Structure 1
Amino acid sequence: MSKDLPKNIVLVGFMGCGKSTIARKLGTLLGYPVVDVDAEIETKAGMPIARIFETRGEDFFRHLEAAVLQEIGARPGRFIIATGGGVIGRRRNRQLVRQLGYVVWLQVSRDTIIERTRRSRDRPLLETDDPVARIDALLAEREPLYREVADLELDTTGLDAGEIACGILESARYHFTSGM
C-alpha cells in the first residue's frame, strides 16, 4: 500500500459512466479490495436493487445505501469504492462519501449514458415511458451534487480503463503529497 494515497478512492458518477469497471482496474493496479456499494446493498437486503425499488421503494434503498456507506467507512484497510449513481442525492450520503476518501467524479456524455443504459433492465429509475427525458432530468439534478463532493472531475470520453485509472492515481498522489 502506498503511503502517498488516501485511505480510499471513491468513484461517483451517473449510471453507465464506468464506475465498476474503473474500480476493478484501480483495485488491480493498487492491490486494494474493490467495494461495490450496490452489490453490498443487494447482499444486505437479500434481493436485487430493482426488486428493492419495486417492493420497498427508493427511500428504503437510500436508507440502506447510507447504512452501507457508514459500514464501509468503519472497515479497516484501504479500498476502491464504486458507488451507485444516485448516492449523492441525499445530504447525509454526500457527507459520508466525502469522509470515505478521495472522491473522483467520472463523467461521460449524455449520448454515451443513453447508449450504455438503453437495454438494461437493472436500472429502476429508467423504467419509464421516456428514459431519455428521465436521464436528462437526473443529470440536471445530480451534476451540481457530484461537483460538490468531487476532489477530481474526470471526463473519460475516448479513454480506456487503464488510462483513466492511471490518471486517477496520478491525481490522488499529487493531491495528497502537495497537501491540497
Structure 2
Amino acid sequence: MKIILFGYMGSGKSSVGKNLADKLSLKFLDLDAEIESVEGKNIASIFSDKGEIYFRKKENEILKKLVAENGSFVMATGGGTPCYGNTLEYIKDQKDIKSVYLKNSIKQLTERLFAERAQRPLISHLESKSILEDFIRKHLFERAFYYNQADSIVDVENLSIPEIVQHVNEKLF
C-alpha cells in the first residue's frame, strides 16, 4: 500500500507521516525533502531561482518517480502538491495509492504557522496574524476542491500526533 498525505502547510503531514510509517512498518518519504535532494537546494531557493512553474513540474515528476520506484510507503506532500498539473488525477488513477487529507481549521493553522513563518518562504513576509489568517483562508478556499478529493478526510483539529495516526489508520483499514 502507498499512502499519500495531503493538507495545508502546518497541518502535520510530515510528523503524522513519520509516525504512521513507523506504526505500519513502512518507508517514509517526504516529497519536499526528495525535491531538495534532487535539486541540491532548498524549496525557497528553487522558488526564487527558477519560479513556481518549474518547481511544480519538478514536484510532479519526482512524485511519479517515487511512486514508480518504491513499494509500500507513506508520503508527506507539499501543501500545493495535489492542486497543480495532473498530480491529483495521477494519484487517483493509481490502484495501490490511498490519499488522506489532514484537515485543520483556519484558526489552528494560523496559530501554528504564525510562530514558524520565518522558516516558511511563502508566508515569511506576512507580519500579523490577521493577514496570515486571510492568506490561509484564501488558499484553503482555492485548494479545498483538490484536498476534498482525497480517499479519506481526517479532521485533525486539536488532536495529538498519535491520535491523528490512530484516526488515519482507522480510515485506511
Runs of 4+ in 1 over 4 A off after TM superposition: none
Three-state SS of the structure 1 residue aligned to 2:79 is coil
- CA–CA separation in structure 2 for the residues paired with 1:78 and 1:64: 22
CA contact 1:105–1:146 (8 Å) conserved in 2: yes
CA contact 2:117–2:124 (8 Å) conserved in 1: no
- Name 2:133's counterpart in structure 1: 132
- CA–CA separation in structure 2 for the residues paired with 1:95 and 1:132: 29
Counterpart residue identity of residue 76, structure 2 = A
Alignment of 1:139-158 (within 5 A): 139-148=140-149, 150-158=150-158
- CA–CA separation in structure 2 for the residues paired with 1:57 and 1:92: 19
123-132 or 88-97: bigger deviation: 123-132
Instruction: Using the TM superposition, give the Cα deviation of residue 133 of structure 1 relative to its aligned residue in structure 2, in angstroms.
Output: 2.4
CA contact 1:23–1:81 (8 Å) conserved in 2: yes
Three-state SS of the structure 2 residue aligned to 1:167 is helix
Count of residues in correspondence between the two structures: 166
- CA–CA separation in structure 2 for the residues paired with 1:107 and 1:154: 6
- Name 1:176's counterpart in structure 2: none
Instruction: Using the TM superposition, give the Cα deviation of residue 144 of structure 1 relative to its aligned residue in structure 2, in angstroms.
Output: 1.4
CA contact 1:49–1:122 (8 Å) conserved in 2: no
- CA–CA separation in structure 2 for the residues paired with 1:162 and 1:56: 38
Instruction: Using the TM superposition, give the Cα deviation of residue 139 of structure 1 relative to its aligned residue in structure 2, in angstroms.
Output: 0.8
Three-state SS of the structure 2 residue aligned to 1:158 is coil
Three-state SS of the structure 1 residue aligned to 2:119 is coil
- Name 2:36's counterpart in structure 1: 42
- Name 1:164's counterpart in structure 2: 164
- Name 1:105's counterpart in structure 2: 101
> Is 2:106 aligned against 1:81?
no
Match of 1:115 among 105, 111, 115: 111
Counterpart residue identity of residue 135, structure 1 = I
Three-state SS of the structure 2 residue aligned to 1:15 is coil
> Is 2:28 aligned against 1:25?
no
90-99 or 70-79: bigger deviation: 90-99
CA contact 2:107–2:133 (8 Å) conserved in 1: no
- CA–CA separation in structure 2 for the residues paired with 1:131 and 1:160: 23
Counterpart residue identity of residue 107, structure 1 = K
Alignment of 1:44-83 (within 5 A): 44-83=38-77
RMSD of Structure 2 on Structure 1 (CA): 1.5
| Alignment gaps of 5+ in structure 1 | 1-6, 174-180
Instruction: Using the TM superposition, give the Cα deviation of residue 34 of structure 1 relative to its aligned residue in structure 2, in angstroms.
Output: 0.4
- CA–CA separation in structure 1 for the residues paired with 2:8 and 2:66: 21
- CA–CA separation in structure 2 for the residues paired with 1:132 and 1:106: 18
CA contact 2:101–2:148 (8 Å) conserved in 1: yes
